[in-house]
């Protein structure tokens, strides 16, 4: 008994706690990592974190599985005669740099493309490395995961406010009316609204202060339990619902631009452009009664403060561009733009938005993709064209790819086509610490260090803050052996490519000197320190000013609170004429596409001509993110990759709770087990995304044991939002058939 007590006491004394930000999503929760030596004992919420105050979701605990994961690559591997071989970092960097330089020398700069997965946005080193990497590659073939996700939001911010990253953030802590479309904050914990997890508590607080929360979604999803009202809506019809809201507000004379009236243009244009969309048709198409839409519009317009907010259900759809524009219109015409309780803008400690604006306007349509002529936006091409750009011969064909994290084979529409395309590349370089469905196609994989083996600062996701605050997370563990951070990998590649391109003694000497300087002077922490010092809250060069510095953040491991969101318009309107554009031609010109589809009989004709009588939508799950499927503690228990189907649709097809079904679309079919539930509307089925770990040649043993099916084996890269080229993952026509019925033992 005495011995046991002593052992327990000794363990308690030896363990330490490290505080950092969970970098897995934009919610940015504070975690307390209890560790002993290099062993993590537990991961819990940090009650002293300024934003999350101890709240976390289960995903954070999976980080310890990533830390200890035997499948996580710690050294570069190179494919030789189809077999992976561990190689030295020296060989890996030389191989990668040589491939880039020789391909571009022979076939031109555009012959090498880059892809950056969404997790790059959570990664300090990669974010800092992106600009110089793009500069070095000099290619137009730049792709990211944004065009399978949120790019329609960025378009709206660009065309209406003049800056694609000037995010409009719901002031959830002060609002009196929260209308949400195509979103599930209970599961996403925010998304474009960094709430520090537990947004459902904030929904309750809205109701408690006399306000109201309304959710519009084809699923009565997990958030529905916490809101005052939920309405089913047919997928891909949210644009019409929003037009119904806007028309009602105008018709009832409830439009009130408020403080910003003198800074808004295009008011009359919106009124006349949306008039032809009558309410009776909107009711028929959306499935929501006209009186309900009108009531919600009046409630929203007359609330003390209100927010109209939407996420992937409004961006990964065929009218995603229009949806995001209309959503902003609702907020602007009700006087809720840049007002407490409405949509607001954080002022970040490192003001990336302001710094980018100083460099001039972002581009749109400065060039087009070679094969299907899709326009670039903010310097990148949509991911929907990557496969054809690789597979179509001709000048400018992509022959080499450098892919930084992400797993587009599972996350991009028609992932199987991407696989075919990757196999046709002359070379592929991946920066990733897993052998995934995507990286298995690479010739070389350069693995960055693990999540606890580098420092962290959310350079990008603070732009979604619902309060102004700042936090820095130091490195916890030293990597095993010679570990390179993402930043160091990019830096090393840049140096070697520059050295190989240099010609003549003098130029080579210059490159060598600059490389040495970069090695010594350029580190992510130094850049963060500078950004903070000269940012809006920093002391600048004044040694007597008590401003925000990196040291201050290090002294406050839970972060530093910088105050509630403040009004920032009109000063921070970034359009050339300093006006908020309520009616950009870019959107007005796309309205006929919406009108013809639903008022001109195109949708009716499509419904008649097709064998696909159901619509599939994607969904998030509570415990998993695609790249975390190798965490045992996250995938254990009831399998998450099931197809939700309404009882009526199940009955029609003789499907029962034990059934596995075949889901078929225009591009392929998958088999999945079903879950019969009336939380999904009839005619719609739902499957989580980023599953499908049944491809051969990966090395993620836990994920392979829980493979699921990939939604993107049945989505079509050719079906996109024509305005923004964003992939369509919600609202794909499918048919569902019984595959087999499990016989009870
Ligand atoms: S919501 Fe979950 S995954 Fe996102 S930051 Fe918080 S703990 Fe991490």
**Ligand 1 centre and the CA of 368: distance in Å?**
37
pLDDT at 159: 98
169: tokens are: 């953030």
pLDDT at 743: 52
**Ligand 1 centre and the CA of 357: distance in Å?**
30
C-alpha span between 401 and 496 (Å, rounded):
17
CA distances from 286 to 185, 235, 242, 495 (A): 22, 8, 10, 55
**Ligand 1 centre and the CA of 194: distance in Å?**
10
Q: Which atom of ligand 1 is nearest to the CA of 21?
A: 5
C-alpha span between 663 and 676 (Å, rounded):
15
What are 419-439's pLDDT values in tens digits? 999 999 999 999 999 999 999
pLDDT at 488: 95
**Ligand 1 centre and the CA of 560: distance in Å?**
19
**Ligand 1 centre and the CA of 270: distance in Å?**
39
Place of tokens 């007005």: 588
Residue nearest to atom 6 of ligand 1 (CA): 29
Q: Which atom of ligand 1 is nearest to the CA of 189?
A: 1
Beta-carbon count within 10 A of 200 CB: 19
Q: What residues flank ligand 1, with Cβ below 6 Å?
A: 22, 24-25, 27-29, 56-57, 59-60, 189, 197
Pairing verdict, β 580-581 and 77-80: unpaired
21, 56, 458, best to mutate for ligand 1 pocket (most atoms within 8 Å of CB):
56
Burial 567-585 (b: 16+ CB within 10 A, else e): eebeebbbbeeebbbbbbe
C-alpha span between 608 and 234 (Å, rounded):
17
C-alpha span between 386 and 366 (Å, rounded):
18
**Ligand 1 centre and the CA of 60: distance in Å?**
6
C-alpha span between 52 and 180 (Å, rounded):
21
pLDDT at 741: 54
pLDDT at 1: 37
- CA geometry: angle at 352 spanning 348 and 353, to 5°? 90
C-alpha span between 52 and 54 (Å, rounded):
6
Report whether 332 contacts 582 (CB < 8 A): yes
pLDDT at 32: 97
pLDDT at 2: 39
Domains of the chain by range and CATH? 2-68 (3.30.200.210), 77-148+353-556 (3.40.50.740), 168-344 (3.40.228.10), 601-741 (2.40.40.20)
pLDDT at 8: 42
**Ligand 1 centre and the CA of 188: distance in Å?**
8
**Ligand 1 centre and the CA of 678: distance in Å?**
28
> For the chain, which residues score pLDDT lower than 70?
1-13, 623-624, 740-745
Residue 637 per-residue DSSP state: S
Report whether 126 contacts 487 (CB < 8 A): yes
**Ligand 1 centre and the CA of 451: distance in Å?**
14
- Based on the number of CB atoms within 10 Å of its own CB, is 638 exposed (0-12), middle (13-18) or buried (19 or more)? exposed
Concatenating the DSSP letter of every residue in 128-176 gives HHHHHHHHHH--S-EEEGGGGTTHHHHHHIIIIIS-TT---EE-TTT-S
Residue nearest to atom 2 of ligand 1 (CA): 57
Q: Which atom of ligand 1 is nearest to the CA of 197?
A: 1
The answer to whether the Cα torsion of 101, 123, 148, 676 is positive or negative is: positive
Crossing angle for the helix pair 279-286 and 238-251, nearest 10 degrees?
150
23, 27, 198, best to mutate for ligand 1 pocket (most atoms within 8 Å of CB):
27
C-alpha span between 732 and 318 (Å, rounded):
9
C-alpha span between 490 and 126 (Å, rounded):
8
C-alpha span between 369 and 113 (Å, rounded):
12
C-alpha span between 449 and 480 (Å, rounded):
9
pLDDT at 4: 41
Report whether 706 contacts 629 (CB < 8 A): yes
- CA geometry: angle at 312 spanning 311 and 313, to 5°? 95
Report whether 148 contacts 171 (CB < 8 A): no
Q: Which atom of ligand 1 is nearest to the CA of 188?
A: 1
Residue nearest to atom 4 of ligand 1 (CA): 25
**Ligand 1 centre and the CA of 26: distance in Å?**
8
pLDDT at 79: 97
Residue 306 per-residue DSSP state: -
Burial 439-466 (b: 16+ CB within 10 A, else e): bbbbbbbbbbbbbbbbbbbbbbbbbbbb
306: tokens are: 């209100």
pLDDT at 11: 45
509: tokens are: 């000497």
49, 57, 621, best to mutate for ligand 1 pocket (most atoms within 8 Å of CB):
57
- CA geometry: angle at 664 spanning 687 and 647, to 5°? 55
Q: Which atom of ligand 1 is nearest to the CA of 56?
A: 7
SS3 call for 210: coil
Side-chain half-sphere exposure of 391, counting CA atoms within 13 A: 13
133: tokens are: 């990497």
As a residue count, the chain comes to 745
ipTM: 1.00
197, 621, 629, best to mutate for ligand 1 pocket (most atoms within 8 Å of CB):
197
pLDDT at 624: 67
Task: Name which of 681, 625, 685 is nearest 655 in CA terms.
Answer: 685
pLDDT at 338: 98
| Residues β-bridged to residue 33 | 18, 43
**Ligand 1 centre and the CA of 153: distance in Å?**
22
**Ligand 1 centre and the CA of 695: distance in Å?**
28
Task: Name which of 418, 454, 448, 477 is nearest 37 in CA terms.
Answer: 477
Q: Which atom of ligand 1 is nearest to the CA of 45?
A: 7
pLDDT at 482: 87
Q: What is the largest CA-CA distance in the chain?
A: 83
C-alpha span between 36 and 17 (Å, rounded):
9
Q: Which atom of ligand 1 is nearest to the CA of 31?
A: 7
| Residues β-bridged to residue 400 | 112, 427
Crossing angle for the helix pair 320-333 and 267-274, nearest 10 degrees?
120
- For the chain, percent helix, then strand, then coil, each to nearest 5? 40, 20, 40
29, 65, 456, best to mutate for ligand 1 pocket (most atoms within 8 Å of CB):
29
């Amino acid at each position: 008994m005495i011995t046991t007590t002593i052992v327990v006491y000794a363990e308690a004394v030896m363990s330490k706690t490290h505080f950092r930000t969970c970098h897995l999503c934009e919610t940015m929760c504070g975690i307390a990592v209890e560790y002993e030596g290099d062993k993590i004992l537990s991961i819990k919420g940090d009650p002293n974190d300024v934003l999350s105050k101890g709240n976390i979701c289960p995903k954070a605990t999976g980080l310890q599985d990533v830390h200890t994961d035997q499948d996580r690559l710690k050294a570069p591997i190179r494919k030789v005669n189809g077999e992976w071989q561990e190689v030295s970092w020296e060989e890996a960097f030389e191989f990668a740099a040589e491939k880039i330089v020789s391909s571009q020398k022979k076939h031109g700069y555009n012959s090498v493309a880059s892809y950056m997965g969404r997790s790059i946005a959570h990664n300090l080193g990669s974010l800092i490395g992106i600009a110089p990497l793009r500069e070095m590659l000099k290619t137009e073939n730049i792709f990211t995961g944004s065009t399978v996700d949120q790019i329609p939001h960025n378009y709206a911010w660009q065309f209406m406010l003049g800056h694609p990253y000037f995010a409009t953030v719901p002031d959830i802590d002060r609002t009196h009316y929260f209308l949400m479309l195509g979103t599930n904050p209970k599961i996403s914990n925010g998304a474009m609204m960094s709430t520090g997890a537990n947004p459902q508590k904030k929904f309750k607080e809205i109701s408690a202060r006399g306000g109201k929360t309304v959710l519009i979604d084809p699923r009565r999803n997990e958030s529905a339990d916490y809101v005052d009202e939920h309405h089913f809506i047919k997928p891909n019809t949210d644009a019409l619902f929003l037009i119904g809201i806007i028309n009602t507000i105008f018709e009832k004379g409830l439009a009130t631009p408020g403080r910003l009236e003198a800074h808004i243009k295009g008011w009359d244009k919106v009124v006349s452009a949306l008039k032809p969309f009558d309410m009776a048709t909107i009711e028929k198409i959306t499935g929501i009664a006209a009186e309900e839409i009108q009531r919600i519009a009046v409630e929203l317009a007359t609330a003390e403060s209100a927010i109209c907010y939407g996420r992937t259900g409004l961006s990964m759809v065929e009218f995603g561009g229009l949806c995001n524009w209309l959503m902003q219109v609702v907020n602007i015409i009700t006087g809720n733009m840049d007002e407490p309780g409405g949509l607001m803008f954080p002022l970040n400690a490192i003001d990336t938005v302001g710094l980018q604006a100083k460099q001039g306007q972002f581009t749109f349509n400065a060039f087009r993709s070679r094969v299907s002529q899709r326009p670039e936006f903010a310097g990148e091409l949509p991911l929907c064209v990557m496969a054809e750009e690789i597979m179509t011969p001709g000048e400018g064909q992509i022959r080499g790819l450098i892919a930084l994290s992400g797993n587009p084979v599972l996350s991009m529409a028609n992932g199987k086509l991407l696989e075919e395309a990757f196999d046709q590349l002359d070379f592929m370089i991946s920066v990733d610490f897993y052998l995934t469905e995507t990286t298995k196609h690479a010739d070389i994989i350069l693995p960055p260090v693990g999540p606890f083996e580098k420092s962290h600062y959310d350079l990008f996701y603070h732009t979604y803050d619902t309060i102004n605050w700042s936090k820095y997370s130091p490195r916890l563990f030293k990597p095993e052996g010679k570990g390179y951070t993402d930043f160091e990998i990019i830096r090393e590649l840049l140096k070697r490519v520059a050295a190989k391109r240099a010609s003549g003694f003098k130029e080579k000497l210059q490159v060598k000197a600059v490389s040495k300087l970069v090695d010594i002077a350029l580190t992510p922490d130094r850049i963060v320190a500078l950004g903070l010092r000269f940012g809006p809250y920093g002391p600048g060069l004044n040694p007597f000013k008590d401003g925000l510095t990196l040291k201050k953040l290090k002294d406050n491991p839970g972060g530093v609170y910088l105050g509630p969101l403040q009004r920032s318009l009109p000063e921070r309107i970034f359009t050339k004429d300093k006006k908020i554009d309520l009616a950009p031609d870019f959107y007005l010109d796309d309205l006929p596409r919406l009108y013809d589809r639903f008022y001109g009989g195109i949708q009716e004709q499509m419904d008649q001509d097709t064998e696909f009588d159901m619509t599939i939508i994607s969904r998030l799950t509570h415990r998993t993110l695609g790249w975390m499927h190798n965490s045992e503690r996250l995938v254990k228990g009831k399998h998450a990759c099931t197809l939700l189907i309404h009882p009526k649709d199940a009955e029609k097809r003789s499907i029962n709770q034990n059934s596995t079904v075949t889901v078929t679309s225009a591009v392929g079919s998958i088999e999945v087990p079903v879950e019969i539930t009336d939380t999904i509307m009839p005619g719609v089925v739902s499957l989580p995304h980023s599953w499908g770990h049944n491809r051969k040649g990966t090395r993620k043993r836990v994920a392979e044991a829980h493979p699921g099916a990939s939604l993107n084996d049945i989505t079509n890269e050719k079906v996109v939002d024509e305005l923004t080229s964003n992939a369509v993952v919600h609202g794909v026509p499918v048919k569902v058939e019984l595959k087999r019925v499990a016989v009870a033992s």
